[in-house]
Amino acid sequence: MNVRNNNVIPQSIKRQVKQSIKRSLQHIAAAFGRHTRANKEAQLLILMYHRILPHNDERTKSEEPGMVVTPETFKQHMSILNDYFNIIKLSDWVQLKQNGKALPANACAITFDDGWADNYEFAFPILQELNTPATIFLVSDMIGTDEMFWPERLARLITTIASNYPQYWSHPELSWLQDNPENYLFSDTPPDSEEISRLCASAKKYSDDEIHIRLTHIENILQLDIDNGAPSLLNWQQVIDMINTGLVEIGSHTCRHIRLNEQTPAEVIKQEVFNSKKEIEKHTAQTIKTFCFPNGDYTPKALELVKQNYQGAVTTQSGWNTADTDTHQLQRIGIHQDIAHDKTSFLARISGWM
Ligand SMILES: [Zn+2]
């Protein structure tokens, strides 16, 4: 039977199916609530957010789908979490664990990576309204500048060329972009967010510095201006305003968002780990206790350096944490709009069902 054509299914059956799906989803949500309230284990759920942007915001066009949650969805997440969990600052949990103190049951920490200006614009008012603490991991050398991370630069460059100068695709300086197994057609049609995501994944075969150098080279040779005017990242005053409420704490996410992998020289890894902490402490007058590995990458040496300089660190490995989890390799659950747009999908995501 061809069920693709919705019109062949009678309305009464459609209604019954919808009602039965709704009932199943309500059972899932109720079971989740019963389980978490009865659970007295000292587990820690850490959520990983990046950008909070309204659905139609221009900035979402040059962003990968895994990076964004809308303010409405974010507010819904925060109120659900406040119902089920003890939301605490990440560094407070880490410190309790290190001091051998009792860990709270059903603990949850909210984290944001990178230090996007939209965190101040859209997430901070919601955190204040719901009195919810959070940790923001900053890339110290880029705060208060107009600089962009390379995925954003790459997305804007490709979108600008496709929209305005498709004739440039045949330029030899752009051949490295086309040398990838992805199926985006370099034409006058800008890539959609899934294609941007695949192009970024493909570019990761080069080091972060190498990608920046190549993008600068293309912008100079073709005389392209891909800047949209407004800075993408927070400035220090915004950071201090958030800290002063007592709700937001800051962690380090390196100086320049360099992946701490085998491609990165040992001396650079050392500087990224150490100098970012010093720089953030200089601007905020706070002790920076936690670290976040860019892209979730780290060598054994990088992990050792982070252990020497911070009380705890988060990765991109997915899962919950217990008292036995290494405090410097804490797992998180990544949250974005596509997989957590309503209560049921959000609960399913944080439970590890999807
Ligand atoms: Zn990051």
Ligand 1 midpoint to CA 314 (Å): 11
Instruction: Tell me yes or no: is domain 39-145+232-350 CATH 3.20.20.370.
Output: yes
Cα–ligand 1 centroid distance for 294 (angstroms): 5
**Angle, CA 226 vertex, CA 220 and CA 227 arms, to 5°:** 115
- Mean pLDDT, range 44-73, rounded to an integer: 92
For residue 264, what pLDDT is reported? 92
User: What is the whole-number distance in angstroms between the Cα of residue 40 and the centre of ligand 1?
Assistant: 33
Task: Tell me how far the alpha carbon of residue 113 lies from the centroid of ligand 1, in angstroms.
Answer: 5
CA of 114 to the centre of ligand 1 (A): 5
pLDDT digits (tens, 9 = 90+) for 161-216: 998 899 988 888 888 888 776 678 888 888 888 888 888 988 988 988 899 999 99
E strands, 269-337, are 290-292, 312-318, 330-334
Distance from the CA of 209 to the center of ligand 1, in angstroms?
15
What is the Cα–Cα distance from 111 to 69, expressed in whole angstroms?
A: 13
149-158 residues labelled b (16+ CB within 10 A) or e (exposed): bbbbbbbbbb
The mean-pLDDT minimum among 3-7, 16-20, 101-105 falls in 3-7
- Those residues whose C-beta lies under 8 Å from the C-beta of residue 179, and which sit 6 or more positions away, are none
Q: Which band of pLDDT confidence, cut at 50, 70 and 90, is reported for residue 32? A: low
Q: How far is the CA of 226 from the centre of ligand 1 (A)?
A: 21
Dig out the tokens for 284 from the structure.
Answer: 């905020």
- Report the separation in Å between the CA atom of 155 and the middle of ligand 1, taken as the mean of its atom positions: 16
At 71, is the pLDDT very low, low, confident or very high (cuts 50, 70, 90)?
A: very high
- The domain ranges of the chain are 39-145+232-350, 150-222
